[in-house]
Amino acid sequence: MLIEAPRHAEIFGSIKIYDVQKVLKLDSEKVETPLLRSFSKDEIEDILSRLIVVVPIKNEKIYLLDGVLRAIPRNCPIIVVSNSQRGKRDVFKMEKDVVAHFYNLTKHPVSIIHQKDPGLGLAFKEVGYTHILDENGFVRDGKAEGMIAGMLLAKHMGKDYIGFVDADNYVPCAVNEYIKNFAAGLCMSDSPYAMVRLHWRHKPKIIRSKLYFKKWGRVSEVTNKYLNLLLAAQTGFETHIIKTGNAGEHAMTMELANIMGYSTGYSIEPYQFIYLFEEFWRGEIKFREAASAGIEIFQIETLNPHIHEEKGEKHVKDMLHDSLSTIYHSRLSDRQLKSKILEELRANDVLKQGEKPRKTVTIPPIREIDVKTFMKVLEEYSETLVSYD
């Protein structure tokens, strides 16, 4: 694989954010020049063999899940965490069937669990991690909550890296590329605390019956702007370094996943930046080893466009609200920035005059969780966990 070398980076305390690096060729000879970075098949394979992929899903078209599973490189075990409908129209059952069929065809290791499995709630309760549970002891709704459940299963499997891909991707080969891009980014890192966030080359839309290759998603563009303004408010220097504020497709070293702070639902991705800035730049450092090793964030621009399911206007507004809320409520956000965020949310018809964004629920790191106990309880009480290995 051939990608642009990391030419520019900005440093905020222990955090180093690299500017976007474009993928130039997916399969290439080893080329060594100062402007390019190439990776041999073996280097990519080595990371892939240590990577686990989590696929959060909620009521997606079943064909899309099928395509995503088939595109995941063979070395990476898969964990599907579903919050799909059950009961009369049992979407979760269809997902389980697709997973079983996929395993029978391919022998690719894969697990699936439902987010509302009582055993999952019980396992989290048993290890004292109640931050993602609702008042009835079930894991709450939300993409982040599903991802965290997936992380716990991944932790138990003892892999070094974890990656996340959405289940609603229309182009299986794009998913295959994303995971190889994760591997390339992780390969470049000098620190055990690294993250790779993907930036789409294009996000096509149909405009006046024609495909139009848009550069930015509506929410991403706004989120990036305000994350960059937060940095500028702190440093006094304007910056455009953040281009992946809402990167649903991202990967981390397990060391970083362990000490990362999370936020509910779709606010998880922008909050990762906020958490890191608050903890490793402008805060009292709790995780000294990570602070001295440094946290590296790579942003990689994919070769493939991103074509996914459109969920409508309300969904976009909710995502915008939750993304900007994490910035608004950060203690690094000053009065001027807060008032700009309010203006933005009003202009997008998300808030009315006088309203403030509601604070999103934050979720602490998973490092202290006793995974053995968690798994023991889960295996004993789970009603939905199926693992094919």
Contact residues for ligand GDD (CB under 6 A)? 56-58, 60, 81-83, 115, 141-143, 146, 166-168, 217, 220, 246, 248, 266, 269, 308-309, 311, 315
- Minimum CB distance to ligand GDD, residue 82 (Å): 6
Structure tokens at 268: 């998880």
Contact predicate 117/385, CB 8 Å: yes
DSSP for 19-67, written as a single string: PPEEEEESS-----BTTEEE--HHHHHHHHTTEEEEEEESS--HHHHHH
Shortest distance (Å) from residue 173 CB to ligand GDD: 17
Nearer to ligand GDD, 167 or 295 (CB): 167
Residue with smaller CB distance to ligand GDD, 148 or 256: 148
Nearer to ligand GDD, 310 or 343 (CB): 310
Token couple for 341: 């965020």
Type and span of the H or E element at 374 = helix 371-381
CB of 117 to ligand GDD, least distance (A): 11
Secondary element (H or E) of residue 156: helix 143-157
Q: How far is the CB of 365 from ligand GDD (least distance, A)?
A: 19
Question: Residue 5 and residue 21: Cα distance in Å, rounded?
Answer: 7
Of 44 and 64, CB closest to ligand GDD: 64
C-alpha distances (whole Å) from 116 to each of 23, 80, 106, 125 are 38, 13, 28, 13
Of 45 and 309, the one with the shorter C-beta distance to ligand GDD is: 309
Whole-angstrom CA distances from 43 to 1, 30, 188 are: 10, 11, 10
Residues forming a β-bridge with 57 = 82
Eight-state DSSP code of residue 277 = H
In the complex, what is the shortest distance from the CB of residue 127 to ligand GDD, in angstroms, rounded to a whole number?
20
- The residue among 248 and 294 lying less far from ligand GDD, judged by its C-beta, is 248
Q: Give the nearest distance from C-beta 285 to ligand GDD in angstroms.
A: 28
Which residue's CB comes closest to ligand GDD? 248
